[in-house]
Structure formats: C-alpha cells, structure tokens
C-alpha cells in the first residue's frame, strides 16, 4: 500500500485546483443565482483538455485513470457542485459506455468530439415511472428498415438540451424487463428528440436537467450500442463508475464547506476570542474533517478497484452512500458554524446545502445503494 498520488495525479490535481480556483470559484455565485448553464466553464475545461480525461489518447483524450477523474470532479465541486455535475455526467456516464461497449466506428465517430468538449454528453435511463426500478422503463425501440423507431419520455436528464449525444436506454422487447433493454447513441440534433423546459430545482442551479421526449425518433442500426438486450447491463456498469464521480462531487462539497467553516471559525470573534477556540466548534470541525477524509478514501478505493479491473460495484455504492450522506450532514453543520450568515444567500453555505441534497437522490437513491450493497454482501439464494 502506498496512498501517495502519482506524479501524474499530482499534476492533474494542481491543474484542476488552479482551474477551480481561478475560473470556477468567481463564477459560482452567478451560476447559482441566475440558474445559468456555465457554457464558458465547459469551454475552458475543454481548452485544458479536461473533457476527455478517461478517453484514451488514441481517441483524442487524456487517457487518465478514475482517481484523476475523481480529483477533477472534487476540486470543481469545492466551489460549484452543479458545474462539477455537468462535467461528471459528460465524462463518466456520458462517455464511458462508448469506451466499454462501442464499436470501433462508434468510438471514432464520438470519442474525439466528446474528448475535445465539442460535443457534450448526456445519459438517459430514468423515466417518469421508472426510477429506482429502471428495468421497467417504458420507452420503446421498434425495429424498422435499417434501424429503430423510438418513442417515450425520459426525465431528470442532466445536460438535456446542451448535449450533442444522448446514451439512451429503450425497450426492444417491452415487458421482458432487464433482458429487453437496448442502449442507443442518439445525436442531440435528431429531429425526433425534443427536450422539455429545464426544471426549477432546489439546488444544482446552472445544471440543465429536463425531460427528453422521443417522438418517432429514428435511429440507425449503427447507432445501437452493444447488442440488443445488453442495454441494462451497459447502464448498470455506467452507473457503477458514475458513482465514483458522484462520490467525488460530494467529497468536494464537503471539503469546500469544511474549508469555509474553518476559515470562518478562525476569523469570527465572540466572547473575546475566535469561535474556533470553543470546543463546540472544534468538535464540529473535527467530525466534519473525519467524515470528509473517510468519504474521499472510499471514493478513491472504488476508483482504484475500477482502474485495476477488479469488481467494484459494492465499493462504488458504499462510496456514493457514505460520501453523499456525509456531504449533506457536513454542509448543514458548516452552515451552522456560520450562524445567521450561513442562512444568507450572500455566502456559499446555503447553496452547498441545496446542492448536497441531490447527491442522496440521483444516480441511484441512497436507499438503492443500500440494496446494491446488501445484495452483494448477502445474495438471495
């Protein structure tokens, strides 16, 4: 065991920390208050080569590992979780299915565009009536000459309307459950794909989350990802590694909240000394730091297993569960350290609380994570 970062990972950390400090931090408040999609930050990340971190160099990417990716997402999320979410969905669930299941032709067509940031990616699994129970989705894909006709509605799709590519799951054998699901790569400009209005949300403002409607959407045979019936597996595998990014986003939220709480506790004077010298504040900060650290290690453990080609479903679910629950708790505690000021929108504390809540819900609610963990630990016979 040696938990030091490699020189390459250290370099990435420096690069993304600098990007986050210099570019993301000053924009965070405006993105939140105006609910404005941060296209400028996506473009800047693209200039730095950060949009194709996991994509091999042969396809125009940086060819980095999941720990580097987790570091990237964490550093951005320290200042703006919604921007981190956009970058995460693009780089993880939006890109990885093609990496793992795409044909050579599909890789050549999409990966360079995704890696350069020219095309933003989205992942479309959830439906109004198929959330945790994703195997019972209702969107259909009916074979026609040389391809498929898709009909149905997807909901809660991150990067909807901004994305140039949707990796979308539909039933080629309706009623067959998980075995009847197939994955498709659908271009954002497909006339049969229409995006609904962006949802107004509790948090993650700036992140475009909306419905995606498929109305007689024609998709070529060559845009089917993997085999017919393989879609559910593709989606589950994407979500496994997607959870690394969600965990990293939560770690960033927690670390950002902790950093601000520590700085404030040193500065804020009451009863003649900084409040950081009172044990009630010290205890909060210690507890927050322990949980943040544990969350980061769980995230990196899942990432390391993933990179080593070992099973990591359970570890990724644990990281997601622990980190997002910790982020919720820590962002609330950090707000409390700020007292009345924490409640004001002038400070980032309230925004972090609003943003953290999403982590407990998306990419599998934390209740689903517990089921994933339990089934892995004690499988039904």
Closest distance of CB 273 from another protein, Å: 20
- Residues whose CB falls within 8 Å of the CB of residue 307, separated by 6 or more in sequence, listed in order: 65, 66, 67
Please calculate the CA angle 65-367-202 and round it to the nearest 5 degrees: 80
- Smallest gap from Cβ 287 to another protein, in A, equals 13
Residue number with CB closer to another protein (3 or 280): 3
Pick one of 135, 285, 294, 361: the residue that binds another protein (CB under 8 A): 294
Residue 361 in the binding site for another protein (CB under 8 A):
no
Among 198, 224, 284, 296, binds another protein (CB under 8 A): 296
Q: How far is the CB of 320 from another protein (least distance, A)?
A: 10
Beta bridge partners of 185: 167
Contact between 200 and another protein per CB under 8 A: no
Note whether 290 binds another protein by CB under 8 A: yes
Q: 187 or 294: whose CB is closer to another protein?
A: 294
Instruction: State how far the Cα of 302 lies from the Cα of 308, in Å rounded to an integer.
Output: 10
Q: Which of 75, 127, 333, 363 is an active site residue? A: 363
| Cα 331 to Cα 357: distance, rounded to the nearest angstrom | 10
| Window 1-20: residues binding another protein (CB under 8 A) | 1-6, 9
Select the residue interacting with another protein from 255, 324, 331, 360 (CB under 8 A).
255
* Cα R_g (the chain), whole angstroms: 21
The answer to whether 46 and 33 have CB atoms below 8 angstroms apart is no
381 contributes a contact to another protein by CB under 8 A: yes
DSSP state of 23: I
Q: Cα angle vertex 77, ends 278, 64, to 5°?
A: 130
Contact map string, positions 314 to 343, toward another protein, x by CB under 8 A: xx--x--xx---------------------
Q: Answer for the pair 376, 314: CB distance below 8 angstroms, yes or no.
A: yes
The piece of 29-37, 177-185, 192-200, 297-305 that touches another protein (CB under 8 A) is 297-305
| d(C-alpha 165, C-alpha 121), whole Å | 5
Total count of residues recorded for the chain: 381
For residue 373, the minimal CB distance to another protein (Å) is 4
Q: Is 263 in the site for another protein (CB under 8 A)?
A: no
How far is residue 348's CA from residue 122's CA, in Å, rounded to a whole number? 27
Cα 118 off chain centre by = 19
- 228 in active site: no
The backbone torsions φ and ψ at residue 95, rounded to the nearest 5 degrees and listed phi first, read: -110, -40
Q: How far is the CB of 338 from another protein (least distance, A)?
A: 19
Q: Contact with another protein (CB under 8 A): which of 187, 236, 289, 332?
A: 289
Q: Which of 45, 51, 67, 316 binds another protein (CB under 8 A)?
A: 67
CB 54 within 8 A of CB 61: yes
Among positions 113, 298, 335, 353, the unique one binding another protein when judged by CB under 8 A? 298
> Following DSSP, what letter does each residue of 193-226 receive, concatenated?
EEE-PPPP-SS-TTS-EEEEEEEEEEEEGGGEES
Q: Which residues bind another protein (CB under 8 A)?
A: 1-6, 9, 67, 78, 255, 258-259, 289-290, 292-298, 300-301, 304-305, 308, 314-315, 318, 321-322, 367, 369-375, 377-378, 380-381
Tell me the catalytic residues: 363
């Amino acid at each position: 065991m040696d938990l030091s970062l490699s020189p390459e990972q250290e370099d990435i950390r420096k690069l993304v920390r600098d990007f986050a400090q210099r570019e993301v931090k000053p924009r965070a408040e405006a993105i939140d208050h105006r609910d404005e999609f941060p296209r400028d930050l996506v473009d800047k990340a693209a200039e730095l080569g950060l949009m194709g971190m996991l994509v091999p160099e042969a396809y125009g990417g940086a060819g980095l590992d999941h720990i580097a990716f987790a570091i990237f997402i964490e550093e951005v999320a320290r200042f703006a979780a919604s921007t981190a979410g956009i970058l995460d969905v693009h780089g993880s669930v939006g890109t990885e299915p093609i990496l793992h299941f795409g044909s050579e032709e599909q890789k050549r067509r999409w990966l360079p565009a995704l890696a350069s940031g020219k095309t933003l990616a989205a992942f479309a699994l959830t439906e109004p009536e198929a959330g945790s129970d994703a195997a019972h989705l209702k969107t259909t894909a009916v074979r026609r000459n040389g391809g498929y006709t898709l009909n149905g509605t997807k909901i809660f799709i991150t990067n909807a309307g901004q994305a140039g590519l949707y990796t979308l799951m539909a039933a080629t054998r309706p009623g067959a459950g998980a075995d009847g699901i197939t994955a498709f790569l659908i271009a954002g400009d497909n006339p049969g794909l229409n995006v609904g209005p962006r949802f107004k949300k509790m948090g993650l403002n700036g992140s475009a989350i909306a419905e995606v409607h498929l109305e007689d959407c024609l998709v070529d045979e060559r845009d089917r990802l993997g085999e017919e019936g393989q879609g559910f597996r593709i989606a589950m595998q994407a979500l496994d590694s997607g959870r690394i990014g969600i965990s990293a986003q939560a770690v960033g939220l927690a670390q950002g909240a902790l950093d601000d709480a520590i700085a404030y506790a040193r500065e804020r004077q009451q009863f003649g000394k900084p409040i950081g010298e009172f044990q009630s504040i010290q205890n909060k900060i210690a507890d927050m730091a322990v949980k943040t650290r544990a969350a980061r290690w769980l995230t990196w453990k899942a990432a390391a297993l993933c990179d080593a080609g070992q099973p990591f479903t359970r570890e990724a679910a644990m990281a997601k569960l622990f980190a997002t629950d910790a982020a919720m708790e820590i962002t609330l505690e950090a707000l409390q350290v700020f007292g009345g000021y924490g409640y004001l929108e002038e400070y980032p504390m309230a925004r972090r609380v609003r943003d953290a809540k999403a982590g407990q819900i998306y990419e599998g609610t934390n209740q689903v994570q517990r089921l994933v963990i339990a089934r892995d630990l004690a499988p039904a016979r």
